[in-house]
Structure formats: structure tokens, C-alpha cells
A and B are shown apart, each in its own frame.
Chain A
Amino acid sequence: MIRRSYLLGILLTVGMVAASSDCTKAQTESDKATQKGDVARGEAIFAGKGNCLSCHRVADRGSHLGPDLSAVGLVQGRAELQKELLNPLVTVPAQYQMYRVTTNAGQTFTGRLMNQDRNSIQLLDSTDRLRSFTKDHLRSYEFVATPPMPSYRDKLTPEEQADVIAYLLSLKGIVRQ
């Protein structure tokens, strides 16, 4: 029976920013961070005040629009997480930029761009539904200029930020016993 937890697809969605050369250092810092923040308080903020589940997924909760964070604690350290929390503008990968289409009838769908070609657009929309549109039926289609992830510099107190980071560092998948 396998005991260790590993990232599968989750790694694919959270690993873009992690710099391997910083892993050892980041791990050391993450250990300190875990001690600093409060995991339980961080989880509550993550699901509540921070509204993080509106984009992110942890286990079976949350959205598919942003990176799945179910095991983010295995691949990112405190430094990376803090950077993404406070200055996400430079760290959000292109595929997680929000995309918006508006039909000729005026209906708007926003979500994650999954695929496109000359004639059509495929989207995972904000209701978690895979949708396909032919461009003939669209009035407009474009990336949303506003960064999908806000900075939490002014939205959370330093203590709350530490709690959220402690929670994120604790996310290491679910281990089969």
C-alpha cells in the first residue's frame, strides 16, 4: 500500500512558479512559517474572508478556475506563497487569466480558456461548466484585463496572511493509510 502522498495533476497546476533552486531554502522557511501562523485560523480565512475558494480548489471544495492547491504545501515554500499572496500580478500564469465571451444575444460567460481556433472557443466557465462557442455567435471574446487574483496586502492583516500561508503549507494531499 502506498503511504506517501504525491501530486498528480495538482502539481501541474501549482508548480509553475516554484523555483527548484530555492526548494531547500523555501522548505526551511516554510517550516518556520508553519510555526508562525495558525493553520485552523488560516483555513477559516481561506474559505471565508479571503474568498479563495471562488477560484482555487482544495480537495473537493472550490473552483477549477485557478490552480488546485490541494497539495501546494509540497511544492511551494513560504517565500513563494507570500509573494503570490501579496503580489499576484506577476505570478499568475497566462492560462489562469480570466477570459470573457459575450454572445450576440448579450449573454456573458467568464472563465478559463481551455482551447480555441479560428472558428470556436472552449471555456470552463465560472459555474464549472465546460462550454464551447462558435465565434459567429459571439459579439466579443477577450481576456479580462483585471488580474484574476487580488493582492491580499491590504485585505488581510499580517497575522491573517501568516495564518493563510500556514494553512497552505499544511496542504500536502490526502495520504491513504
Chain B
Amino acid sequence: MLRHTCAVVGFLLAVSVVSVSQTPATSTSVLPDGEGRENVQRICTGCHSLSVVTGQRMTRDHWQREVDDMVSRGAKGTPDEIALTVDYLSKHFGNSAALDGQAGSAETTRRDTVASRPNRALAELPKGEFVPHGDPATVPGGVTFQRILKANSEPQNWLTFGGTYKSLHYSLLDQITPENAKNLELKWVFQTHWLDPYETTPLVVDGVLYTTQGNDVVALDAVTGRLFWIYRYTPVPDARLCCGRITRGLAIYGDTLYLAAVDAHLIAIDAKTGNPLWDTTVARTQSGYTMTGAPLLVKDKVIVGVAGGEYGIRGFIAAYDAKTGKKAWTFYATAGPGDPNQHTWAGDSWKTGGGSTWLTGSYDADTNLLIWGIGNAGPDYNGDLRLGDNLYTSGLVAVDADTGKLKWWYQANPHNEYDWDGVQVPLLADIDWQGQPRKVVLWANRNGFFYVLDRVTGRFLLGKPFVKQTWNAGFDENGRPIMAENTKSSEEGTLIYPDNQGGTNWYGASYSPQSKLFYVIARDGYSTVFVKGPQQYTEGERYDGRGVRPRGRPTPQAVGAADEQLTAIRALDPHTGDRKWEYKLNTGASLNPFGGWQTNAGAAGILTTSTNLLICGGREGNFVVLDSTNGHLLWQTQLGGPMLMNPITYAVDGKQYIAIDAGTSLFVFGLRDGAEKNR
């Protein structure tokens, strides 16, 4: 499943300089007293927030490996300090530590909305208990299912995570063009008071921009960035967070917003005031379940997925009544009793088999199918503990949006041992395929392959690598991959391309019906030595079945020299998978704001427009606007922090804006006043 703790550092290292000045906000108060506490505070928060630490429960050996890995990535400390750090973490965040209050945090469940209300007493609100609201869709002017279904008819708004249900990340707005893009300028910035990765795709509805500030939800004036209200949310302190407190977006229905909180609570919020309306528990976070993806509103249901694949969860997709919060259906991502594919799991391994669903899927209204990516099987690196194909992990499933019944599935990596989730958002496109119109799924997978599937039947049409890969020796007639020799995870280590972070990851791809090209962020030239190790399941503890993964440490000599390792925007012909052009976002390593050197692999997702713009950003802070037909740079600026999620575009009062998260802030650009006519 998701990036494990070590991997998080890879991009957290690049948290902006702004974060440095805010580091004191990550107080040691969340750490229990004890020898080594100061070391943990100093060493760990050099790269990431303490929540990445306090969300874990691991054995001493496991902590030792984690800390060793961190040191290999640039964490600084003397041998004695490192040893003390391991002692402290083992004692206070070990597998024998009591769950409750172990983090020493005084945090309690708290929900509050602030909108010019000084001296307001905070209400202490019990979790999982709620007051259901009326039907959100009856509110005049609210966002109905039909509006989302026809989102392209109101391109000034961004009504759902992927822009439309097809998740193309493509906009029909046409004010900003290749000719006038040079006149873009910063309009406003929303600085979050938050240190974890900022990966939220905002929603925009009729001039109001909804986004998050960590776990909080905010409503902003889309023209000026000024706040209308803040809904504050504090997750339970014993939530098991694999990779930081990340929320990637919201859903809206009527005048109700939906937040999938990291502690696996689904919360409905009044979009006018920020008042919470109901709160329901989706899963037990103490077992490792979290939610980091944006919910998806389909008809009158809110659809959510879960994260936690490193904790032996059983992943699922679940639908909740948007009005009441009552669960409507659940689709389990590991085939268990009653499922004809249970035989793909040895024994009871399906119970802890992972299969997280942590990114938002797409919806095909023609077939009423949700098409959703499924994460890797668990334990991640040791498949001996789950012999079989492990359906439906590392694949796509299509389930009926009304019932959750499975319609078809495609598994990209049966019996995956490389941590390659299949959660990457599938794009639904209508293209000509071998001379005939065809409804297809375009899907760039973490395993380094670009796939084309028939979205009605799930039939495999094409699989072609878009980065260097060494695991695949072809496909059979059904699209099942043929494994290359010597690619099984082993105790001594097996070198595989791409690395466990994959050829691409959560940052979304784009398809432009205008240019008829598919665009993907490609992480090329990266590899991992996969080492399997013993693993036992204990609730709430990591369950990844891995040994150490020797990795190189970036050095100054690597800067500019390691050109075989790069992150690039690649334009692919969806009919063949052939590369049409490439724009390199970065290569090699660069200076880490916290000291040392870092690789810059990864980037924001991609947005394209009907005027042939491609908008994206890199880990190192360069925000770029390209010509989507040829990859030529039209305009760029430096935002001082990593961009980790797709930009969006919207319009208010006839003026088009582009919004993108960078570092810990949301940046919004538009054309200089008067430059709109310069086309």
C-alpha cells in the first residue's frame, strides 16, 4: 500500500523553507517524557512531522530498521544519539505500548467552526455520534448529482476530485492560452498552519473554494483567498497513520461537504457555515485503518476508500447515505467468504491482506460503474505469507454504484511483492480504438506500465511500460503479466525497476480530448532491492514483511550526474503507449533545505486545458505551464516548496484562475489584469 514511513521522507525532505520557520509548531508536547525525547524531536522533525512517528507501533527491530533507513536518507545524529532514539521509540511507540494515550498527547476529539466568533466556547463532541441532517440536495443552489454529472457544462467550477467523474483533469476554460500564459501572476496565497504534506485538491463552487488545512476544512473566497469559515478537526491521538496526516480532498452534495478524516471518520459539514452535521465511523483506526483520499459523491451516496495497507487491514470501498451517514454497501478488496475468488488467498490471509483503496476512483454514468484502484497485498514484501494471486489487490475493480457488486476486475500484479499499489486514479476516455469508438480506461500504474482497458468489460487492450522496468516479460492473451526471471522477493534481496515508490504514484495523470494525448508523471531509473523478512500480525502494528533495503545516499557528486534517474512529464499516445514528448522536471539530487542532499523524484499531478495548456509542478518547487501538444515551456515560476497534487483551474466573474498546493500553502494564479485579450 501507500508509501511507508521511510519513503515519506523522500519527499518530506523537500518541505519548503517556510516549514523551517514553523517547525516549533510541531511541539514536543506530543511526545511522552523520557530519555531521548529531545533527540526524536530534533532528528525526526528535520524532515517530517511528529505525527509520522506517533502514529506508529513497531518492534525494536522494526524501529531500528526505520531509523537506519532514515540515517541513510540524511537524518543526522551521533551513533549514541541514534541509539538513544531507537531506545526511546521502542519504549514509547513499541508494540507493547498501550494504545490509549501513549503519545502523551492532550489532544481530545474536538470539532469547532470558527467564523468571526471570538470567545466561542469549544464544544467537546463525542466521536461517531451525530445528528443527521436533512436532504442536502434539496437546498436551493446546492450541488446536485446532475451538476456533477455535467460538470463540463460549468467549467468555472471544480465540483469533484477529478474535475469530472471521468477524472481526466481536463478543463474547458479557455481564457489562459499558450499566447498569454506569460502574463500569469500570483493572485493570492492561503498559508496553512500545518506541517504534513499538503496534497489537497480543492473544490470550487460558485466563487467559494473549499480545501483543507491538514485535517481542518476551510471555505475561502476564490478571488481573494479570504476565509469564510474554518472547521477544525482533531483526529484521535492513537490513529495509526502510515504516512502523515494527509487529506487529499473533499466531496460536496447540495450544500454539504464531506471529509474523509485520517482517523477513518466520515464527516458531513454545512458548506455555508462549516458546522458539522454528522459523523460516522468508517473503520477502526487503532487497527491501522485511515482515510486520506477525497470522498466521491455519486447519486445520493458518498463513496470512500481506506488506507492502512502496511497494518494488515482488509481494504474496502464503502458507500454511505449522503443524508444520514448510514452505510449502504461495502465492497471488500480482498476476496473472502462468499467470494468466488477467495481461493486466491492461502488460508485466512485474506483477513489481513491489505488491498487499500486510498485514492478516489472514477464513475462511469453509462454503465453506473465505479472504477477504483486497489492497493497492494499485505504483508507488502513477503508473499509467502499469502500464497496465491491475492485478488483484487494491485488492480482495478468495477463495482455497481448502487450496490457495490463486482462487475469486472483487472489485476496488474498478481501476488505483488513490491509495494506497488494499483490505486492510481483510472481515467475514463472515449477514443477510437482500432478504427472503432470505444469506452476505455487509461491507467498509469505504479508498476511502470500504461494500460488501456475496455471499461464496460474490463478487457485488457494494451500494456506498455513508460519507465524502465525489469519485472515484466510480457502479457498473456488475457493481459496477465508474465514475470521475468529472478524477480521474486528474497531474503538476500532482489533488485527491481521501478522502485517501491513506482513509475508514478498518487499525483494524477491527465487525458486531453483536445490533443488526444495521455500525460503522466514518470519517475524513471529508480530501483529497489526488495528483501523479504518474517512477519507476524498484531493488531495496530506494521505488517509489511520486509527486511532492510540498502539504498544509496545522495551526494553532491550526484547532482546533475545521475541523469538516468529523473522525474518527467511524459505525453503518451493512448493507442500505442508510445512517447510523444517529454519534459524533465528534474534529475539527480539537489540541496535539501534541512541539510544534505535529496532526490527530487515525484511531482504534482497534471492539469490540461482545451487551449492546449499543460500545468504541473515539481518536487523542487518549479511551477510550469507547457504547451500540451509539444511539451514546450510557456511560463514558470518558483514556489519554494514541493508540489504533490494536481493543480485545478476555475473562474469567477469571467476571470480564470489556476490553483496549486506547494509546500504548505495554496497558490492561486491568474492573468495580469488586462492581459486576457492577449491571445
- Interface residues of A, Cβ cutoff 8 Å to B: 2, 4-13, 15-16, 59-61, 64, 68, 70-71, 95, 113-117, 120, 122, 124, 128-132, 134, 173-174, 176
> At the interface with chain A, which of B8-16, B123-131, B422-430?
B123-131
Chain B hits for A61, CB < 8 A: 134
Q: B349-363 CB contact bits vs A (8 Å, 1 = yes)?
A: 000000000000000
Contact A9 B270 (CB under 8 A): yes
Contact A114 B115 (CB under 8 A): yes
Contact B125 A7 (CB under 8 A): yes
Chain A hits for B141, CB < 8 A: 128-129
A96 to chain B, nearest CB (A): 10
> Which 4 pairs between the two chains have the least Cβ-Cβ distance?
A60-B134, A9-B275, A132-B221, A173-B131
Chain A CB within 10 Å, residue with most, of B141, B224, B273: B273
A11 in complex: contacting residue of B125, B134, B223, B231, CB < 8 Å: B125
- Give bound CA distance, A114 to B125, whole Å: 23
Chain A hits for B112, CB < 8 A: 12
B226 in complex: contacting residue of A70, A113, A115, CB < 8 Å: A115
B112 to chain A, nearest CB (A): 7
A44 to chain B, nearest CB (A): 18
- Give bound CA distance, A130 to B229, whole Å: 10
B597 to chain A, nearest CB (A): 41
Sampled A-B contacts (26; CB under 8 Å): A8-B123, A8-B131, A8-B276, A9-B231, A10-B131, A12-B123, A60-B133, A60-B138, A64-B273, A68-B273, A95-B117, A114-B116, A115-B226, A115-B228, A117-B226, A120-B221, A120-B224, A120-B226, A128-B139, A128-B255, A129-B141, A132-B207, A132-B221, A132-B224, A132-B226, A174-B133
Chain B hits for A11, CB < 8 A: 123, 125
Say if the beta carbon of B301 comes within 8 Å of chain A. Answer: no
Residue on A nearest B271 in the bound complex, by CB? A130
Say if the beta carbon of B397 comes within 8 Å of chain A. Answer: no
Residue on B nearest A62 in the bound complex, by CB? B134
Contact B135 A60 (CB under 8 A): yes
Contact of A124 with B272 at beta-carbon distance under 8 Å, contacts A10-B131, A59-B134, A95-B116 already known: yes
User: Known contacts A5-B129, A16-B120, A120-B221; can you find 7 more A-B pairs with CB under 8 A?
Assistant: A6-B129, A60-B134, A114-B229, A124-B273, A130-B228, A132-B223, A174-B133
A74 to chain B, nearest CB (A): 9
Chain B CB within 10 Å, residue with most, of A12, A173, A176: A12
Contact of A8 with B223 at beta-carbon distance under 8 Å, contacts A2-B130, A59-B133, A60-B139 already known: no
Residue on A nearest B268 in the bound complex, by CB? A8
A95 to chain B, nearest CB (A): 5
Contact A6 B126 (CB under 8 A): yes
Chain A hits for B229, CB < 8 A: 114-115
Residue on B nearest A68 in the bound complex, by CB? B275
Contact A9 B277 (CB under 8 A): yes
Q: Sort chain B's interface into a size bin.
A: 35 or more
Say if the beta carbon of B113 comes within 8 Å of chain A. Answer: yes
Within 8 A of A (CB), among B244-286: 255, 269-270, 272-280
- Give bound CA distance, A134 to B224, whole Å: 9
Chain B hits for A68, CB < 8 A: 273, 275
Contact A9 B117 (CB under 8 A): no
A122 in complex: contacting residue of B206, B221, B255, CB < 8 Å: B221
Chain B hits for A95, CB < 8 A: 115-117
Contact A6 B130 (CB under 8 A): yes
Residue on A nearest B122 in the bound complex, by CB? A12
Residue on A nearest B267 in the bound complex, by CB? A8
- Give bound CA distance, A8 to B117, whole Å: 16
Contact of A6 with B131 at beta-carbon distance under 8 Å, contacts A15-B121, A15-B123, A114-B116 already known: yes
Chain A hits for B129, CB < 8 A: 2, 4-6
Say if the beta carbon of B325 comes within 8 Å of chain A. Answer: yes
- Give bound CA distance, A72 to B111, whole Å: 18
Chain B hits for A130, CB < 8 A: 207-208, 219, 221, 228, 272
Chain A hits for B136, CB < 8 A: 60
Contact A176 B228 (CB under 8 A): no
B414 to chain A, nearest CB (A): 37
- Give bound CA distance, A95 to B278, whole Å: 23
Chain B hits for A8, CB < 8 A: 111, 123, 125, 130-131, 275-279
Contact B224 A9 (CB under 8 A): no
Chain A hits for B280, CB < 8 A: 2
Say if the beta carbon of B326 comes within 8 Å of chain A. Answer: yes
Chain A hits for B132, CB < 8 A: 173-174, 176
Contact A9 B221 (CB under 8 A): no
Chain B hits for A134, CB < 8 A: 224
Contact A9 B273 (CB under 8 A): yes
Chain B hits for A132, CB < 8 A: 207, 221, 223-224, 226, 228
Within 8 A of A (CB), among B488-517: none
Residue on A nearest B270 in the bound complex, by CB? A9
Contact A115 B131 (CB under 8 A): no
Chain A hits for B255, CB < 8 A: 128
- Give bound CA distance, A176 to B327, whole Å: 11
Chain B hits for A16, CB < 8 A: 120-121
Say if the beta carbon of B290 comes within 8 Å of chain A. Answer: no
Q: B314-354 CB contact bits vs A (8 Å, 1 = yes)?
A: 00000000001110000000000000000000000000000
Chain B hits for A2, CB < 8 A: 128-130, 280
- Give bound CA distance, A41 to B273, whole Å: 30
A113 to chain B, nearest CB (A): 6
Say if the beta carbon of B227 comes within 8 Å of chain A. Answer: yes
Chain A hits for B223, CB < 8 A: 132
A63 to chain B, nearest CB (A): 9
- Give bound CA distance, A168 to B120, whole Å: 23
Chain B hits for A124, CB < 8 A: 228, 272-273
